[in-house]
Structure 1
Amino acid sequence: MDVRRLEVLRELKLRGSVTAVAQATHRTPSAVSQQLKTLEREVGAPLTERSGRGLALTPAGDALARAAADVVVAIARAEETWRTYLASPEGLVDLAVFPTAGRMFLPGLLRAVRGVPGLEVVATDVDPQHADFAGIVPDFDVVLAHSVGPAPAWKDRHLIAVPLVDEPLDVALPEGHPLAERAEVAPADVVSEPFIGVPVDFPYQRLLQEIERVAGAPLTIVQRFSDTRVTESLVAAGEGLAVLPRFTSAGPGSGVVLRPLAQLAPTRRIAALLRRESAERPSVRAVLDALRTIAAGLS
C-alpha cells in the first residue's frame, strides 16, 4: 500500500468530504478520488460508498483509516529522528584503515573525536594488499585508501573520494651507508644494492619495476615483506635498501635514513572513500574534517 494514499484516506475520515481533502492536500477533487480508487484496488475491498452527494467510509475504509493514522505517526517520528540525526554529529562511524594510515591518522583522529559529545569512531585495519579499497566501502562508513602511481577511478564506482595527502615514497638506507650522505639518490645509485622488496601483488612492486626500468638493470630482491616495520628493521640492520613512506617511517633512533628518489619522485595518494549517502551524516563529516586537519599538518 502506498503511504500517500493511506494519508488521503485518513484525511477523508478527518475532514468528511473529498472537496475538503482536496483543499487541505493541494490536490484536485478528481485526483483525490483517483487515489482512493487506486487504494481500493490495492487492498481488494471497497473503502468508500456514496452518501448523499458525497462519500463516506465503509467499515473496511474506517478500519484502514484508523490504521493509517498509526502509519502517519510512525513516519512523522522517523522523519523527526532523521532530522535530528542529520543535525548533530553524534553516533558511531566505522573506519577502515591500512596499517601505515592507522599510524599516521588514528592517534590524532581519536583525540579529536573525544572532544565531540556523542561521536565515536571504531577503526578496523585492512590488509595493505587490498588493492580494491572501493570494494570494501559498503562495509564501512569511511575507508582510508592509497594508490601508488595513477590514481584509480574511485569516482567511477559512484563513491566520494576525499583527497587527504600525497605522501612521498623514499629510499630507506641504514645509517652510515655511503648514499646516506647525499641529499637524494637516483635509480642508478641503488640498483646494484640488495633490496628488501614487497610481495609481488603489492602496489609498491610497480615502483620497484620503475626503478629497474629507469636504471636499465634488475634489482636484487633479497627478502620480501608486507609489514613496513619489519622492512625498516632489516634496513637498519644493513640487510638491504627499501622503499618506505616518508611520514610513517624512520623515526628517531630507528637506524634508518630516508632519501628522496630522484628522476621518479614517487608518491602514494591517500584518500578517504565513502558512499554518497554517508557523506550526508554530520558524524561522518566531522571525521572527514578531522582527517583533513591531520593531513594538512603532515606535508
Structure 2
Amino acid sequence: MDVRRLGVLRELSERGSVGAVADAMRVTSSAVSQQLKVLEREAGVPLVEPAGRGVALTSAGRELARVATDLAVAIEHAEARWRTFVQQPAGDVTLTTFPTGGEMFLPGLLRRLEGAAVTLVCTDQDSALVDFADLTPDHDVVVADSATTSASWHDRGLRVVPLMTEPLDVALPEDHRLAGRATLSPRDVVGEDWIGVPTDLPFDRILEQIVASTGERVRVRHRFHDNSIVEAMVAAGHGLGILPRFTTRDHVNGLVTRPLVGIRASRQVSALLRPDLFERPSVRLVVQALREEARAVADSHGAV
C-alpha cells in the first residue's frame, strides 16, 4: 500500500469528512475520493461507507488508519535519526597530499580532530607523477600545490578551498658569498649552479622567472623529487636551490634560506574536493580543521 494514500486515510479519520481532507491537502474532493478507492483496492476490503451526506470509516478503515498513524510516527522517527546522523560529523575521511604538505599539516590536523567521531585516513603522493585533480574521485580531500590556483580545477567542477600562499626561498650554503644578504634578487644569482626539481613543478617555474627577468640561462646541475636531497646537496655546496619556506630546515647542517625579491616566488596550497563530498559533515569538519591548521602554520612563520 502506498504511504501517501495511507496518509489520506489517516487524515479522514482525524478530520471526519472528504471535504475537510481536501481543504487540508489543497486538492479536490474528487481527488481524495479517488485515492481512497485505490487504497480500498490495495487493502482488499471496504474502508469507508456512506454516512449521511458523507462517508465514515469502516472498522477495517479505522484499524488501517491506526496503522497509518503508527507508520507516520515510524517515518518521522527514522527521518529524525537520519537528520541527526547527517548533521553530526562521523565516519572515515580519506585525505591525500604532497609530501611537504603532509609535513606541514598532518601532525597538527590529527591533533585538531582528536575526540571527533571522524577517522582521518592519510596518504601522500609524488607531485611530479600525478595530476592532483585526478585524485579527487578516489579521495575525499586532496591537498595540492600549484604556482597559482589552477583554472583547470574550477573548469572540472571541483570545489577549491584555498589554504595558504607559501613563499619559495633561495637555499644556499651558510658560507656562500651571498649568505650575508637579507634578500636576493634574480640578478644576484646569475651564474650560479642550481639543484633543481622536475620540470613544470612550482619550484622549477621560479627558475624560469629568473631567466625571464635577467635574460640569462640558469645551469641546473641535478634534479630531485625529494626536497631533503636538495637540502643536502645545497648544504654540501653543489649549487643553490628553490625550497619552500615553512618546511626547509634553515640553519641545519649548514643551510640557509633567503627571500627572493623582484619576482613572484610562492606557491598556492589548496584543498580540492568533488562538490558533492563537500556536503558531508565529516568532510566539512576535516576541511575546516585543515584551514585552521594552515593558518596556524603560516602564523608560526610570520606569514601574512
Asked if these proteins are the same fold (TM beyond 0.5), I'd say yes
Partner of 2:218: 219
Q: Structure 1 residues 34 and 265, CA, compared in 2 at 3 Å: closer, same or farther?
A: farther
Match for residue 5 of structure 2 among 5, 9, 17:
9
Cα contact 2:95–2:121 (8 A) shared by 1: yes
SS class of match (1:168):
strand
Q: Structure 1 residues 85 and 131, CA, compared in 2 at 3 Å: closer, same or farther?
A: same
Amino acid at match of 2:80: E
Q: Structure 1 residues 36 and 128, CA, compared in 2 at 3 Å: closer, same or farther?
A: farther
Amino acid at match of 2:4: V
Partner of 2:63: none
Distance in 1, matches of 2:35 and 2:21, equals: 11
Give the superposition deviation at 1:269: 0.8
Q: Structure 1 residues 226 and 7, CA, compared in 2 at 3 Å: closer, same or farther?
A: same
Cα contact 1:149–1:266 (8 A) shared by 2: no
Number of equivalenced pairs:
284
Does 2:107 correspond to 1:111? no
Partner of 2:61: none
Q: Structure 1 residues 150 and 131, CA, compared in 2 at 3 Å: closer, same or farther?
A: farther
Give the superposition deviation at 1:36: 8.5
SS class of match (1:179):
coil
Amino acid at match of 2:229: V
Amino acid at match of 2:171: A
Amino acid at match of 2:5: L
Distance in 2, matches of 1:35 and 1:13, equals: 9
**Equivalent residues in 2 for 1:25-64, closer than 5 Å:** 25-32=25-32, 47=42
Partner of 2:171: 172
Amino acid at match of 2:82: W
Give the superposition deviation at 1:288: 2.4
Partner of 1:196: 195
Partner of 2:157: 158
Bigger shift: residues 77-86 or 20-29:
20-29
Query: What TM-score results when the alignment is normalised by the length of structure 2?
Result: 0.77
Q: Structure 1 residues 81 and 108, CA, compared in 2 at 3 Å: closer, same or farther?
A: same
Task: Name structure 1 gaps, 5 residues minimum.
Answer: 41-45, 57-65
Distance in 1, matches of 2:129 and 2:23, equals: 58
Amino acid at match of 1:85: F
Distance in 1, matches of 2:116 and 2:156, equals: 33
Amino acid at match of 1:79: E
Give the superposition deviation at 1:237: 1.4
Q: Structure 1 residues 150 and 110, CA, compared in 2 at 3 Å: closer, same or farther?
A: closer
Cα contact 1:197–1:223 (8 A) shared by 2: yes
Cα contact 1:8–1:32 (8 A) shared by 2: no
Cα contact 2:192–2:219 (8 A) shared by 1: yes
Partner of 1:43: none
Partner of 1:91: 91
Q: Structure 1 residues 33 and 173, CA, compared in 2 at 3 Å: closer, same or farther?
A: farther
Amino acid at match of 1:238: G
Give the superposition deviation at 1:134: 2.6
Q: Structure 1 residues 54 and 232, CA, compared in 2 at 3 Å: closer, same or farther?
A: farther
Bigger shift: residues 26-35 or 281-290:
26-35
Distance in 1, matches of 2:127 and 2:119, equals: 24
Partner of 1:143: 142
Cα contact 2:8–2:32 (8 A) shared by 1: no
Q: Structure 1 residues 290 and 54, CA, compared in 2 at 3 Å: closer, same or farther?
A: same
Bigger shift: residues 261-270 or 202-211:
202-211
Task: Name structure 2 gaps, 5 residues minimum.
Answer: 58-66
Give the superposition deviation at 1:7: 2.2
Distance in 1, matches of 2:34 and 2:246, equals: 66
Cα contact 2:8–2:36 (8 A) shared by 1: no
SS class of match (2:106):
helix
Partner of 2:62: none
Partner of 2:181: 182
Partner of 1:292: 291
Give the superposition deviation at 1:287: 2.1
Q: Structure 1 residues 215 and 47, CA, compared in 2 at 3 Å: closer, same or farther?
A: same
Distance in 1, matches of 2:7 and 2:252, equals: 75
Amino acid at match of 1:196: I
SS class of match (2:89):
coil
SS class of match (1:139):
coil
